[in-house]
């Protein structure tokens, strides 16, 4: 009876994930034949070395295989949220890490301290793909333990001089279990929020399950845009948004021009937006 129940439960979970456009994988098959050429290609799209080495073949083949670009704008900030939800923003990685060390925290360790502070790094990257098309990519990485594991939200918005290219989006969320060395990744293939001025995703944030020491909660979202109209020349901005849910309430999630709209505001810690400016020629 237990065996039948387990099989039925697995089928239900697979159906739910299929309907919601989420793929979950552990120890995934990486990009095939990861040559120096492919590595340089992905770096030109704003990917870090660890993102490249862990990128699954289906994500690469369906979203990035045919793209060639050059990073033209990248901005990183680090936010600290205290136990009351107050945010301190650091624009220098060195300054942020020094502040963590002063609180007896090591970045990426998954540790906590008596201050109940949570630290998250956010990076907005823009790559020029040519022909007035651009890849917008927003990374996030929790640097230590966070105090709530519910549903977080991530989004990118931009002026309407840029138009999203349909079906170009993807979101990846990964976390490690240091006890068995296993990395689990969830892939979201369709943005839940799609507007002419941006895309957004909500995802299940995984905490320290049963004390297993889950660390390195991280991810990114990306999609392509094109200049509108084709003759447009001038500056544009890509804004990266992140909101961390802190109360188990029924909440709302949506996009407004230049921002992420989450309600009620008391249930979320909203990180300061990361703004990457670039010029469309």
Per-residue pLDDT reduced to its tens digit, 198-214: 999 999 888 765 455 56
Q: Are the beta carbons of 183 and 215 closer than 8 angstroms?
A: no
* Count of domains for the chain: 1
Q: Which residue has the higher pLDDT, 208 or 172?
A: 172
Lowest mean pLDDT among 121-130, 225-234, 241-250: 241-250
Tell me which range, 2-6, 31-35, 216-220, 273-277, is most confidently predicted by mean pLDDT.
273-277
Which residues have CB under 8 Å from 141's CB, separation 6+?
108, 120, 121, 216, 217, 218, 219
Chain-centre distance for alpha carbon 223:
12
Share of the chain above pLDDT 70, in %: 80
DSSP 70-100: EEEEEEEEEEEE-TT--EEEES-HHHHHHHH
- In which domain, by residue range, is 256 found? 2-280
């Amino acid at each position: 009876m237990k065996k039948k129940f387990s099989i039925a439960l697995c089928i239900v979970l697979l159906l739910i994930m299929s309907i919601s456009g989420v793929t979950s994988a552990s120890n995934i098959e990486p990009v095939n034949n990861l040559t120096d050429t492919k590595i340089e290609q992905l770096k030109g799209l704003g990917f870090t070395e660890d993102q490249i080495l862990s990128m699954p073949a289906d994500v690469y083949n369906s979203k990035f295989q045919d793209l060639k670009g050059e990073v033209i704008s990248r901005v990183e900030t680090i936010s600290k949220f205290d136990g009351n939800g107050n945010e301190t923003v650091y624009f220098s990685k060195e300054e942020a890490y020094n502040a963590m060390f002063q609180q007896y925290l090591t970045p990426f360790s998954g540790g906590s301290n008596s201050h109940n502070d949570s630290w998250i790094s956010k990076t907005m990257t823009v790559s020029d793909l040519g022909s007035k098309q651009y890849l917008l990519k927003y990374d996030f990485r929790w640097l230590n333990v966070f105090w709530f594991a519910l549903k977080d939200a991530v989004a990118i918005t931009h002026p309407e001089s840029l138009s999203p290219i349909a079906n170009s989006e993807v979101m990846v969320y990964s976390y490690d279990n240091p006890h068995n060395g296993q990395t689990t990744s969830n892939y979201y293939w369709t943005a839940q929020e799609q507007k002419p001025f941006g895309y957004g995703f909500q995802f299940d944030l995984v905490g320290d399950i049963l004390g297993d020491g889950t660390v390195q909660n991280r991810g990114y979202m990306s999609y392509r845009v094109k200049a509108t109209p084709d003759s447009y020349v001038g500056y544009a901005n890509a804004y990266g948004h992140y909101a961390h849910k802190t109360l188990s309430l029924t909440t709302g999630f949506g996009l407004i021009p230049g921002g992420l709209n989450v309600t009620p505001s008391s249930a979320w810690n909203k990180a300061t937006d990361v703004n990457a400016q670039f010029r469309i020629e």
